[in-house]
Amino acid sequence: MNRKTGSILKRMLAVSLALTTATSFGGCGKKEEAENNGKIAVICKAQGVSFWDYVKMGAEDAGEEIGYDIIYNCAAQESSIDEQIGFINQAISEGVKAIIVAPNSTTELNTALKKASGQGIKIITINSDVKDFNDRLSCIASDNLSCGNIAARQIATILSNRTDFENGTIGIVGHGEKSSTALERIEGFDTEFVSVLFNTWKNVKVKAMSEDAFQEAYKDTALADAYDNGIPSGDPTKYAAFKSQVLQESGLKIAEPVHCDNDREIAKQKAAELISKNSDLVVLYGTNTNSTLGICDAVNEAGKKGKILVVGFNSDTAEIEYLKNGTISGLIVQSPYNMGYLGVRYADKALRDENVYESIDSGATYVTMQNIEETDVKLLLDPRSAL
């Protein structure tokens, strides 16, 4: 690896602020050739999405740098669990030393992964995690709850500056009702958006009424209880009552989330149904690339560009075009390159019996037309552009 490429790799890692918790990796560009240390398998979720191309690129760069052959496989789609199991078994038969997997199920890969770990193969997850499997050494992923929080705060800010509606509905198109990433991004959005609404409403009401008048007007309500004791996030029943009252006071509704099985055409259909059923729809939020693209397709087809606010995930070329033409307001962009690169680096550390962090937040950045031309954002959107 040449010095220019090594320098770029370090910049790629620096782009993700959350990586300050990770172990520092030195040596980029110092060796032209590394000894061959064996094979590492990298198994990803779904073909046809540039996100996984960047994971592959990061893994292969790290493999070249520290001397591993990368065996890369990607399932046809996120519902292809049996295909990922086959890739794991193939990796075992090919004698890999580590498996880096972006699991399409939190539990259904466990039997195959246990077979691998039982043969001394190191297991690392990226993008999402597994459950009930004790041999996973590290998970390198965006904090999906925090990503949902980012979407909520950005949407709330944009809505607060709009004057063309008083009431409205927010629609959510997730990429899989069994996907932990989708569910966490929805949960993070929901809790943060309701929290922002409550705190904004509370401050306005108290300022207008005085605290005593506020307490009297909302006595024995979930709102008053939250004002005195905090948002009841740990009690589902209390939280549901609190959320209902907050939304009622704000004039906004959050429609029941729908899912598209990571299929752009299904996402388009689901988004079109939300547009048709909710004449007051003001926001559509997508939780990954295909859900976001399907939303955009439906919004454009309905002639709602600029009228319905769209916020989504990732940085596929088609998404960037939708951002540039005004269909998308903002994108939560992850660091797939970092996931692949750090996955291989951590596998190497584990194989050397060095300690690795149990989890690493690979970071996310909110990208709009206001920051899209910044150098680090351009590098994040397309790592190949700097090579």
Q: Tell me the pLDDT band of 42, cut-offs 50, 70 and 90.
A: very high
- For the chain, counts of helices (H) and of strands (E): 14, 13
Supply the mean pLDDT for the chain: 89
Q: Return the closest-CA partner of residue 332 out of 146, 171, 198, 166.
A: 146
d(CA 165, CA 159): 9
- Backbone φ and ψ for 200, nearest 5 degrees, come out as -65, -50
19: pLDDT strictly greater than 60: no
Burial (CB count within 10 angstroms: exposed 0-12, middle 13-18, buried 19+), residue 108: middle
Q: Tell me the pLDDT band of 24, cut-offs 50, 70 and 90.
A: very low
Whole-number pLDDT of residue 204: 81
pLDDT digits (tens, 9 = 90+) for 94-112: 999 999 999 999 999 999 9
215: pLDDT strictly greater than 70: yes
| Higher-pLDDT residue of 299, 234 | 299
Q: How far apart are the first and last CA of the chain?
A: 12
Instruction: Please determine, looking at this structure, whether the domain spanning 39-142+335-356 carries the CATH number 3.40.50.2000.
Output: no
**Taking the model in full, what pTM does it have?**
0.85
Class of domain 144-217+227-333: alpha beta
- Summarize the confidence of residues 165-188 as an average pLDDT: 91
Whole-number pLDDT of residue 15: 46
Q: Return the closest-CA partner of residue 282 out of 163, 366, 165.
A: 165
Whether the domain at 39-142+335-356 and the domain at 144-217+227-333 fall into the same CATH topology: yes
Segments making up each domain of the chain, as ranges = 39-142+335-356, 144-217+227-333
Contact 270, 260 (CB under 8 A): yes
pLDDT digits (tens, 9 = 90+) for 361-378: 998 999 999 999 998 898
117: pLDDT strictly greater than 80: yes
d(CA 217, CA 363): 43
d(CA 278, CA 258): 14
Burial (CB count within 10 angstroms: exposed 0-12, middle 13-18, buried 19+), residue 181: buried
